[in-house]
Chains A and B, each alone.
Chain A
Amino acid sequence: MTVLKEISIGESLETILKPVSRMDLIKYSGSSGDFNPIHTIDEEAKKAGLPGIIAHGMWTMGNLSKLFTPYYEDGYITDYNIRFSGMVFLNDVLTLKAELVEKIDQSLLFDVKAVNQHEKDVVKGKIKFELC
């Protein structure tokens, strides 16, 4: 395991997710209790004016923070802000990114985002990771 304490400004954490599947969204509906059918049922998504089902914004936000999970012995996320800026459809391939932009004492400030296969940001925000 690498150590987050040694990361320098401009360095990034990054991972690519498997294409979004219906089962991903069914599982998230169950685990989160958000059963809005636009995330799982095609006809309901179409009725809502969407081209197809879309991922829960919170599914994407939940995935994004896993970039930091391996570093739990170094500290933890104290602040996590996200703006939902684009929709995520079935089979989309998301890249998760976190770039260190500032370091103040024990606080590491990251710009974080999920980008789809068309290079469009779908969620974007900031994470503050407090070292211990």
Chain B
Amino acid sequence: MYTDYIGLTSTKVKNVVERELVRRFADSIGDNHPIYIDEETGKQSRFGTNIAPPTFPRVLRSGTIDGLKLPLNGLIHGEQIYHYERPLLIGEEVYCYSKIEDYYEKEGSTGKMGFLKMRRYGEDSNGHLIFTEESITIITETVRRSLNV
């Protein structure tokens, strides 16, 4: 049962916000703005360097939660919530981990729907929070039954 996992966290993983990854990411969402890509624009900006788009953290790794089994298929992405203390800077190191914040079920038209709320935290090398990224994933009864959870 997913409720047993509420409160569990993964071990922090070090990531680097790589210039080329940001360039490709920005390009793939049709947002080729020089603030993400052009070094000179970054230098001249109030950040002193280039930044990453708000939804970029999806790319970062945050480790796995021991024992948590999620189906590979059939998950529905319900909601996504970002909070930033400041923009993510190109070249910086970010330490990420995830936490299972909540799990609850609601009666839906196709049986009981499970809602899994996971939050990822991104911190700088001094442990100061840069962003959080929360995903609410919907797991249908059919998918849950196939996993026996």
List chain A positions with a Cβ less than 8 A from chain B: 17, 24, 27-28, 30-34, 36, 38, 48, 57-59, 61-63, 65-66, 69-70, 72-73, 76-84, 132
List chain B positions with a Cβ less than 8 A from chain A: 21, 24-25, 27-31, 33, 35-36, 45-47, 51, 53-55, 58-59, 73-74, 76-87
Given the complex, which residues of A lie within 8 Å of B35, measured CB to CB?
A: 69, 72
Chain B residues touching A, majority SS: mixed
**Knowing A17-B30, A80-B54 touch, does A31 contact B21 (C-beta < 8 A)?**
yes
Measured in the bound complex, the distance between the Cα atoms of B27 and A24 in whole Å is 10
Q: Is the CB of B28 within 8 A of A82?
A: no
For this complex, 23 residue pairs linking A to B, each with C-beta atoms less than 8 Å apart, are A17-B30, A31-B27, A32-B59, A34-B58, A57-B80, A58-B58, A58-B77, A61-B80, A62-B28, A63-B30, A65-B31, A66-B53, A70-B33, A72-B33, A72-B45, A72-B46, A73-B45, A76-B86, A77-B54, A80-B81, A81-B81, A83-B78, A83-B79
Instruction: Identify the closest chain B residue to A76 (Cβ).
Output: B87
**Knowing A48-B73, A69-B35, A73-B45 touch, does A28 contact B29 (C-beta < 8 A)?**
yes
Given the complex, which residues of B lie within 8 Å of A38, measured CB to CB?
A: 73
Q: Is the CB of A63 within 8 A of B29?
A: yes
Instruction: Identify the closest chain B residue to A123 (Cβ).
Output: B80
Given the complex, which residues of B lie within 8 Å of A81, measured CB to CB?
A: 79-82
Q: Tell me which of A27, A58, A132 contacts B80 (CB under 8 A).
A: A58
Given the complex, which residues of A lie within 8 Å of B47, measured CB to CB?
A: 72
CB distance from A56 to the nearest CB of B (A): 8
Q: Tell me which of A31, A78, A84, A132 contacts B28 (CB under 8 A).
A: A31
**Knowing A31-B59, A62-B53 touch, does A36 contact B73 (C-beta < 8 A)?**
yes
Instruction: Identify the closest chain B residue to A82 (Cβ).
Output: B80
